[in-house]
Amino acid sequence: MDITAPAVLFPAISLLLLAYTNRFLALATLIRSLHDRHVANPDELIVAQISNLRLRVVLIRNMQACGVLSLLLCTICMFVLFFDQVMVAKITFGISLLLMALSLAVSVYEIQISVDALNLQLRSLEDCDPGKRK
């Protein structure tokens, strides 16, 4: 194993963390907006969305934590390679890959929850549209 394997992951991990951060910021904006709407005009639909949003925030936090730990272990792996500790580097790099895979798996789950929530919202809109009723 040489230093190129962990070094190749740096741009991918960085872009992934940027995508996770953007999702977190969009979710934070949505939560703040829903909060303001609910304070101005209490709505049961908004209250019903709270558990979904809370779960998504936790999932995004976990995605980010796994991604950051993966990047940290990639960095440690490169550092360990400088000292010719190939076995330690392989173990560190392997754990880094596992954390990245876990981060991606949680991301897929969070995306599915998001899509389900959007589908419910769209169904609610269709139910309110008199032109769509049969």
Q: What is the pLDDT of residues 67-86, one digit of tens each?
A: 999 999 999 999 999 999 99
pLDDT along the chain (134 residues), means of 10: 75 86 92 90 82 92 95 92 93 95 96 88 75 56
So what's the pLDDT on residue 132? 60
Mean pLDDT of the chain: 88
Question: Could you tell me the CA-to-CA distances from 7 to 4, 36, 69, 73, 95 in Å, in that order?
Answer: 5, 44, 15, 11, 15
CA 114/CA 82 separation, integer angstroms? 43
Q: Which residues contact 110 (CB under 8 A, 6 or more apart)?
A: 23, 56, 59, 60, 63
